[in-house]
């Protein structure tokens, strides 16, 4: 499968409804992107968890998942599981964040996600980031909501192992949940790797992409 490489990736924005959503859905991609682009600006917004132990987990985890990045993290205190009733607050937060950044990539929940908080945030994202590449990440959980992704980010086995280790280290509040272990994370990554002819991958749904013709090196020399 041919790969398309972004012309520039100097800034990304990552969005989550809950602490750990971003790391579960795009943690491997964050590790590789940040290492490939030292000093890259990463702006993160998480809608719930502020003032609880989960906020400390999230801040430490995102720092680990974004090595050598210029990282800014905002964690809000919206009620977990009640985003539809807090629509205006979530919308205002997203609009405020948008005024602070101009990302080359946006990682956010996927629009088909069965969790109402994930799905609600996904619906809001295009209203604020109207002219951006948005990649909707997937989170394996008990709802049968996995869809066929359209974008794949191949990952080395070492990256998948590091992702699982960091998740286990930083999100101790989630230990014991049936979907929170290395087998679940690596199993989904292995399936997505098969689908893009690599060993492992994270997968995303992109609602819209624009492709431009780039001149070849030979053409530029003429």
pLDDT digits (tens, 9 = 90+) for 21-41: 999 999 999 999 999 999 999
Q: What is the pLDDT of residue 212?
A: 76
* The pair of three-digit structure tokens given for residue 134, joined into one six-digit string: 């948005």
Q: Measure the CA–CA gap between 125 and 201, rounded to whole angstroms.
A: 24
Q: What is the pLDDT of residue 143?
A: 87
Number of H helices, E strands in the chain: 7, 7
* Domain 11-221 CATH assignment equals 3.40.605.10: no
Quick one: CA torsion of 209, 210, 211, 214, rounded to 10 degrees?
Answer: -130
Residues contacting residue 212 through CB under 8 Å, at least 6 positions apart:
none
Per-residue pLDDT of the chain (222 residues; tens, 9 = 90+): 667 777 778 999 999 999 999 999 999 999 999 999 999 999 999 999 999 999 999 999 999 999 999 999 999 999 888 888 889 999 999 999 999 999 999 999 999 999 999 999 999 999 999 999 999 999 999 888 999 999 999 999 999 999 999 999 999 999 988 889 999 999 999 999 999 999 999 999 998 888 777 665 555 555
CA triple 145-150-156, angle to 5 deg: 95
Q: Measure the CA–CA gap between 46 and 50, rounded to whole angstroms.
A: 9
Q: What is the pLDDT of residue 85?
A: 87
Strands 134-137 and 200-205, bridge-based pairing: antiparallel
Q: What is the pLDDT of residue 21?
A: 97
Residue 164 near residue 186, CB atoms below 8 Å: yes
Q: What is the pTM of this model?
A: 0.92
Q: Of the candidates 69, 80, 70, 12, which has an alpha carbon nearest to the alpha carbon of residue 46?
A: 80
Q: What is the pLDDT of residue 219?
A: 52
Residue 115 near residue 132, CB atoms below 8 Å: no
Residue ranges per domain, the chain? 11-221
| Collapsed DSSP state (helix, strand, coil) of residue 114 | coil
Q: Measure the CA–CA gap between 153 and 34, rounded to whole angstroms.
A: 14
């Amino acid at each position: 499968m041919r790969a398309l490489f972004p012309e520039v990736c100097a800034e990304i924005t990552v969005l989550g409804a809950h602490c750990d959503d971003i790391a579960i859905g795009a943690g491997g991609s964050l590790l590789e992107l940040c290492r490939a682009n030292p000093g890259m600006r990463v702006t993160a917004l998480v809608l719930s968890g502020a003032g609880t132990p989960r906020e400390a987990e999230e801040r430490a985890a995102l720092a680990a998942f974004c090595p050598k990045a210029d990282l800014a993290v905002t964690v809000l205190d919206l009620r977990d599981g009640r985003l539809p009733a807090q629509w205006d607050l979530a919308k205002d937060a997203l609009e405020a964040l948008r005024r602070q950044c101009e990302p080359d990539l946006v990682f956010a929940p996927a629009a088909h996600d069965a969790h109402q908080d994930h799905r609600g945030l996904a619906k809001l994202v295009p209203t604020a980031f109207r002219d951006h590449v948005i990649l909707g990440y997937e989170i394996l959980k008990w709802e049968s909501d996995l869809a066929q992704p359209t974008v794949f980010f191949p990952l080395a086995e070492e990256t998948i192992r590091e992702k699982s280790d960091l998740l286990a280290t930083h999100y101790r509040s989630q230990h014991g949940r049936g979907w929170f272990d290395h087998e679940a994370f690596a199993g989904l990554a292995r399936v997505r790797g098969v689908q893009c002819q690599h060993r492992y991958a994270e997968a995303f749904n992109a609602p819209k992409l624009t492709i431009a013709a780039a001149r070849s090196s030979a053409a530029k020399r003429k």
